[in-house]
Amino acid sequence: MPSHLVTLILFSALVSTVFALLLRDTTRERVRFGAFAFAAFVVSTLVIGWLTNPFPQ
């Protein structure tokens, strides 16, 4: 896998797709929910990563 970011994006896209299909019924709702879930995964991971950066490993 080329990078952590690509791994995060792949994971978020695949999981969001499954959630959108299972939790919404129409195509329009699925696209909106999938996009929201994807953005939430990526943004929250980046924010948590940034916030925890000062802590020692």
Partner 1 sequence: MLHDDAATAPRDSSRTVAAGLLAWVWPGLGHLYLRRRGKALILMGAILALFVLGVAMDSRLQLHLGLEDPLALLFSAAQMGIGAPYFLARALGFEAGVVTSVSYEYGNTFTAVGGLLNILVILDALDIARGYKR
**Residues of this chain that bind partner 1 (CB under 8 A):** 1, 7, 10-11, 14-15, 17-18, 21-22, 25
Query: Taking a C-beta distance cutoff of 8 angstroms, is the pair 21, 29 a contact?
Result: no
Cα–Cα distance for residue pair 1/26, rounded to 1 Å = 34
Beta carbon nearer to partner 1, 14 or 47? 14
Give me the least distance between CB of 22 and partner 1, in Å please. 5
- Smallest gap from Cβ 24 to partner 1, in A, equals 11
> Count of CB atoms within 10 A of residue 7's CB?
11
The letter for the amino acid at 10 is: L
User: Could you tell me the smallest distance in angstroms from the CB atom of residue 54 to partner 1?
Assistant: 22
